[in-house]
Amino acid sequence: MKALIYHGPKDVRIQNVPDAKIEQPTDVLVTITTTNICGSDLHMYEGRTNVEKGKILGHENLGEVIETGKAVQQIKVGDRVCLPFNISCGFCKKL
């Protein structure tokens, strides 16, 4: 898959990286359909925060669940989800 990789201030590149996979029973894989840039991405891009070279940037995504780990209970394949920057544990009560 392609990802936006940080190489230093004002140096980001779209590169191929290994496809994501389920690693933990609580993981969920999502095909991203829409994404946006966030202010925290700009801090990294402009060199105002420390971030290691090679880090994949980007969040604030929307997409469709394509696979879930065995412990996932509240989300199922085919669900459309919003992935804000404040990622939850997934075990909190739904509102």
User: Letter for the amino acid at 55?
Assistant: K
Look at residue 89 and tell me if it is in a domain. no
Question: For the chain, which residues score pLDDT lower than 70?
Answer: 85-95
> What confidence score (pLDDT) does residue 51 get?
86
- DSSP run (H or E) holding 41: helix 39-45
Q: How many domains does the chain have?
A: 1
Question: In whole angstroms, how far apart are CA 32 and each of 1, 9, 51, 59, 63?
Answer: 11, 26, 23, 10, 4
What pTM value is reported for the model? 0.76
Q: Tell me the β-bridge partners of 20.
A: none
Look at residue 67 and tell me if it is in a domain. yes
CATH of the domain at 29: 3.90.180.10
